[in-house]
Structure 1
Amino acid sequence: MTADTTPAGGSRALLRQRRRRSVVRFVRRYRTRRAGLAGLAALVLFALVALTAPLTVGSGVTGVTDAPGSPLQAPSGAFPLGTDRFGRDLLGLVVWGSRVSLLVGLLAAVLSVVIGAVVGITAGHFRGAYATVLMRITDWFLVMPALVLAVALATVMSRSLGTVILAIGITSWPTTARLVRAQTLAVESRPYIERARALGGGHWHVMTRHVLPNVLPLILAQTTLMISSSILAEATLAFLGLGDPTVVSWGGLLQDAREAGAVSAGDWWYLIPPGLAIAAVALAFTLCGRAVESVLDPRLEVAR
């Protein structure tokens, strides 16, 4: 009985040990990327600000009926970042807006990467007419401006966070699909894929047990890069007035500032804080994504 159970148990233990070693190796290599560490520290700070917003500023900061200040009040001791056109504290609005901007960016990026990964893996695995049709659809999305498609979807659908997430997610997946398909083709050309098929492995087994683990590093790196793009897209849609009017986001604050004439009036405190927040979080995700790419693919580090 020992001879029958030990190999299986030993193989599972060996697999867990290899996974732990891979994680430790990834962490050690990531720690050598100073830019990646700076981006990670900034993301942790933004995440803490967003998670603690109900405790630090409270949900009442978004109300317009009981605003504590006068409209468009310059920064002062009572209001460090001034007030908006309704007299609301801009510091509290920027802090509360981080919740919506980060949430929309994360969910839209996940949706985009999931669609791209499914299309890329299946197109690389099945090939033939199925892959041809998928790639032609992907090419159509690639040549069409993603922002124009997102604006069109957000215009014809109801104005809500779900619409914004859907509009960004289903218009920004083609790049991921192309990258994942190329990686899938490279993986399926290896000898162990042929052995798996010869031993009776079906399509689902090959895609989930052999292809997916090999493309996961690429998917992870692409996700971190897509989050920054999704946050910028959400801010753009909100700035164009296509976001959810019932919530506060960084892009929505910029749109409110534009409607209030903050640019022509010189009310810089209405424009700079949300703009800097968008730029900072996008840069942080980009730094993390580049660091993850260089850790998972050392050839990128050599090329640089």
Structure 2
Amino acid sequence: MSTEKMAKRAGTKKTKMNAAMIWGAAIVGVFVLVAVLAPVLAPYDPYKMGIPYIKPSAEHLLGTNDVGQDLLSELIYGTRISLFIGIFTSIIVTVVSLTLSLLSGYYKGAIDKAVTAITNITMGLPDLALTILLIAYLNPGKLSVIISISLTAWTGTARILRSRVLQLCEMPFIKIEQAIGMNDFIIMIKHIVPNLKDIILSRAALSVSAAMMTEAGLSFLGLGDFGAKSWGTILHYAFYQNGVIRNYYWWYLPPILCTSLAVLGFMLLGYYGAQKAKLVKNA
């Protein structure tokens, strides 16, 4: 392949990466802004009851639910809960995965075998069934949802990071630092972790999207935190109060669209991070 064709292909790939980053950041940015400004943007108190089943109108842009709560206000406040659960789950998943991958990839031996065994066993378990089981034994609430999802979602990230840590540990600059007696913790923090940042950001973004989808699914099944408004709980009540059968599309479509868009935004950011990590690795 000629140099010109290779340069053209690289330029096209970089353009796609930048487009993914721009669109992903724009979508996520809008949802973050809505979450922060929820008290200002919401036209009503999402818990205030009124006339039920009002169709979309100038007074209620998305209508009302079965107890007369404004659906637009619910949707806006639901952004906070859905993002909160997604982001905090991602933080836990990232910290656990990074810690285990550093210990496993750096020290190898018995530690690596133990971490690999735990990872393989956890990956062999059905994620959704285990998450449902954990929530059933924990007190209902956002914290139990975050913990339950986190305990089953860390394995993929841990395997990818461990593989990269093993590669980095064979690099000459790491070998030199080990030979001169530099502290292991300093080597990990100052020299290994910075070389993992693109993978970490990519997997963190994908973890947010996965957690948001899982939370929506759990809430739809009746296992979420019903003391708080989330897109999943809105969808749950729309289904169980026959909103779908009655074709109250203004009730069930908005949370589906919001969840899909938010997931798409984080997945685009994850794609950008993954492609950037490949470029750095191949450089």
TM-score, scaled to structure 1? 0.84
Structure 2 partner of 1:15:
none
For the Cα contact (< 8 Å) 1:293–1:300, is it kept in 2?
A: no
Residue equivalent to 1:22 = none
Counterpart selection for 1:270 from 247, 251, 261: 251
Q: Who is 2:31 aligned against?
A: 46
Aligned residue pairs total 270
Q: Secondary structure at the match of 1:264?
A: coil
Instruction: Quote the offset at 1:186 in angstroms.
Output: 0.2
Residue matched to 2:136:
155
Deviation at 1:167, TM superposition (A): 0.8
The one of 43, 49, 53 aligned to 1:67: 49
Give the structure 1 partner of residue 10 of structure 2.
Answer: none
Answer yes or no: is 1:289 the counterpart of 2:280: no
Residues 17 and 275 of structure 2 are in contact (CA less than 8 Å); yes or no, is this contact kept in structure 1? no
Aligned equivalents of 1:296, 1:138: Cα separation in 2: 23
Q: How does 1:170-189 map to 2 (within 5 A)?
A: 170-189=151-170
Superposed, 1:129-148 pairs within 5 Å as 129-148=110-129
Q: How does 1:123-134 map to 2 (within 5 A)?
A: 123-134=104-115
Letter of the structure 1 residue corresponding to residue 110 of structure 2: A
- The residue number in structure 1 matching 2:213 is 232
In 2, distance between residues paired with 1:41 and 1:208? Answer: 31
Amino acid at match of 1:297: K
Deviation for aligned residue 1:36: 2.1
Q: How far apart are residue 216 of structure 1 and its match?
A: 2.0
Residue 32 and residue 197 in structure 1: after superposition, are their counterparts in 2 closer, same or farther (change >3 A)? Answer: closer
3-state DSSP class of the match of 1:61? coil
1:170 counterpart SS class:
helix
Q: 2:152 aligns to what SS in structure 1?
A: coil
Cα deviation for residue 264 of structure 1 reads 1.6
1:295 offset after TM fit, Å?
Answer: 2.7
Q: Does 1:117 align with 2:117?
A: no
Q: Quote the residue 1:90 is aligned against.
A: 71
Contact 1:57 1:96 in 2 (8 A): yes
Give, in whole Å, the separation in 2 of the partners of 1:112 and 1:192.
Answer: 29
Deviations 1:19-55 (A, max 9, x none): xxxxxxxxxx789622321121111111111110112
Matched-pair contact (CA < 8 Å) for 1:31–1:37: no
Say whether the 8 Å CA contact 1:42–1:281 is kept in structure 2: yes
Amino acid at match of 1:61: D
On the 8 A contact 1:30/1:37 being kept in 2, the answer is no
2:146 to 147, 157, 165: 165
Name the CA shift for 1:281/1:153 in 2 (closer, same or farther; >3 Å). same
What are the superposed Cα offsets for residues 55-104 of structure 1, whole Å, 9 maximum, x if unpaired?
Answer: 2227x6222xx424x21222122111111111111111101100000011
* SS, match of residue 171 in structure 1: helix
Q: Whose Rg is larger? A: 1
Normalization by structure 2: what TM-score? Answer: 0.90
CA pair 177-185 structure 1, distance change in 2 beyond 3 A: same
1:199, CA displacement in angstroms?
Answer: 0.8
1:57 to 42, 63, 67: 42
- Correspondent of 1:35 among 12, 17, 20: 20
1:245-264 matched pairs, under 5 angstroms: 245-264=226-245
State the distance in 1 between where 2:65 and 2:220 align: 15
Match of 1:18 in 2: none
CA distance in 2 between partners of 1:291 and 1:221 (Å): 7
Structure 1 Cα separation of the partners of residues 22 and 179 of structure 2: 45
1:240 Cα deviation from its structure 2 partner: 1.2
Distance 2:196 2:63 in 1: 48
Calculate the aligned-residue CA RMSD, in Å. 2.0
Q: Quote how far apart the aligned CAs of 1:300 are.
A: 9.5
- Post-superposition offset of 1:286: 0.5
